[in-house]
């Protein structure tokens, strides 16, 4: 049996940072960098012994790091 793994972003500072990043890129990059499936942002979660490291990358190439768990 395969066990399901779920990642989430729960820190309020990381959520504010993500919301701001999404607002900027959804308004400026959506038309410039269309994706077949409509995806604009790519989320990469890297679990470590200290916490989760999350990288959010836009289709334009800009990215942010959400690592409050590791601070």
- Which pTM value belongs to this model? 0.79
Q: How confident is the model at residue 71 (pLDDT cuts 50, 70, 90)?
A: low
Backbone angles phi, psi at 48, to 5 degrees: -130, 175
Q: For residue range 11-67, list pLDDT tens digits in order.
A: 899 999 999 999 998 888 877 776 667 678 899 998 888 878 899 999 889 999 998
Asked if 67 contacts 10 with a C-beta cutoff of 8 angstroms, the reply is no
Kindly report the CA angle at 20 between 36 and 6, in degrees rounded to 5? 65
């Amino acid at each position: 049996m395969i066990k399901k793994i779920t990642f989430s972003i729960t820190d309020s500072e990381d959520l504010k940072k993500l919301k701001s990043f999404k607002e900027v890129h959804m308004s400026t990059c959506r038309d410039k960098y269309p994706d077949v499936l409509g995806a604009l942002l790519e989320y990469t979660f890297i679990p470590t012994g200290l916490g989760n490291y999350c990288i959010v990358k836009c289709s334009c190439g800009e990215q942010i790091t959400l690592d409050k768990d590791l601070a």
